[in-house]
Amino acid sequence: MELSHHAALTLGERLSRSHPKGVVASCLLMFILAFVAAAASVPEYSLQTGDLLFVQPPLDATLPLDSAILATGAATIAWLRSQGVPVASNETVVHVALVYRDTQSDRVTLVEATPPVVTQTPARSFFESWINASTFFLGRLKDPDVRAHGAEAVGAALQQLGKPYADDFGTPPQEFYCSSLVTWAYGKATGKDVNVFVDQPFTLIFEPLEFWEQYYSDMNMTLPLNVTGSNPTLLLHSPRVEFSRLGYT
């Protein structure tokens, strides 16, 4: 049941006039109503098992690695358009996680590959862990038949908890990075291997080149060439995914 702001004030006025402690009761009522209204705006209430949750940090506060991932995302958008994929916007993201809503408790968690290991994070903690003013996008598979495998995909991802994060963007299932966990899990669930989100294997793009060469050099490795995989922006703009901005307060 919804109680309008005007109705709440009227009820509060009646309480304060009819009872010596009415002022306290009125304040308590207003606090409860404000809490309920705030809770209704928390984005986890719109998340469903198998959804994809993307993160875009504020562009003026990104770390060097995040900036490089965003640059790689911009190059990915250009690649998608070169393949004839209609990309409607230039949004780039640095992270993607799988949503799990427990059917018994209705509790929402995010299954994600993030350093140091694949982990399951409570929704509230997930949102609060990102920089203020970060933008979140909700992604959902367009095909109902694929979307129906969402619970299986999450189940496959949950079985990987504790697996190491792939700093070198190596291939699953011994290690995972954020988008490889999502791609691998849906591939397992649908039997479509890695082609759930794109029609053909995607060769990893490294932009800006100088940053990524140094990144791998710091790990005593050379930049991998002609290695297939994914990145969060590729999944965001996949022709099989529809996404929208997620409000958060």
pLDDT digits (tens, 9 = 90+) for 119-173: 999 999 999 999 888 999 999 999 999 999 999 999 999 999 999 999 999 999 9
Mean pLDDT, range 183-187, rounded to an integer: 96
**Cα–Cα distance measured from residue 21 to residue 71, given in angstroms and rounded to the nearest whole number:** 60
Q: Which helix (H) or strand (E) holds 136?
A: strand 135-141
32-41, 61-70, 113-122, 199-208: which is most confident = 113-122
Q: Which helix (H) or strand (E) holds 229?
A: strand 228-229
pLDDT digits (tens, 9 = 90+) for 97-128: 999 999 999 999 999 999 999 999 999 999 99
Q: Read off the pTM.
A: 0.82
Nearest C-alpha neighbor of 175 from the set 113, 219, 225: 113
Q: Is the pLDDT of residue 18 over 50?
A: no
Secondary structure of residue 232 in the 3-state scheme: helix
**Cα–Cα distance measured from residue 48 to residue 196, given in angstroms and rounded to the nearest whole number:** 19
Nearest C-alpha neighbor of 97 from the set 132, 73, 125, 61: 125
Q: Is the pLDDT of residue 202 over 90?
A: yes
Q: Is the pLDDT of residue 1 over 60?
A: no
Enumerate the β-bridge partners of residue 245. 137
Nearest C-alpha neighbor of 204 from the set 246, 247, 169, 241: 169
**Cα–Cα distance measured from residue 157 to residue 120, given in angstroms and rounded to the nearest whole number:** 10
- Cα angle for residues 127, 237, 103 (degrees, 5° grid): 45
pLDDT digits (tens, 9 = 90+) for 22-58: 444 444 444 434 433 333 344 566 899 999 999 999 9
Q: Is the pLDDT of residue 59 over 90?
A: no
Secondary structure of residue 70 in the 3-state scheme: helix
**Cα–Cα distance measured from residue 95 to residue 178, given in angstroms and rounded to the nearest whole number:** 6
The rounded Cα 226 to chain-centroid distance in angstroms is 27
**Cα–Cα distance measured from residue 237 to residue 233, given in angstroms and rounded to the nearest whole number:** 6
Q: Is the pLDDT of residue 10 over 50?
A: no
Q: Provide the percentage of residues in the chain whose pLDDT is more than 70.
A: 80
Angle, nearest 10°, between helix axes 150-158 and 178-190?
120
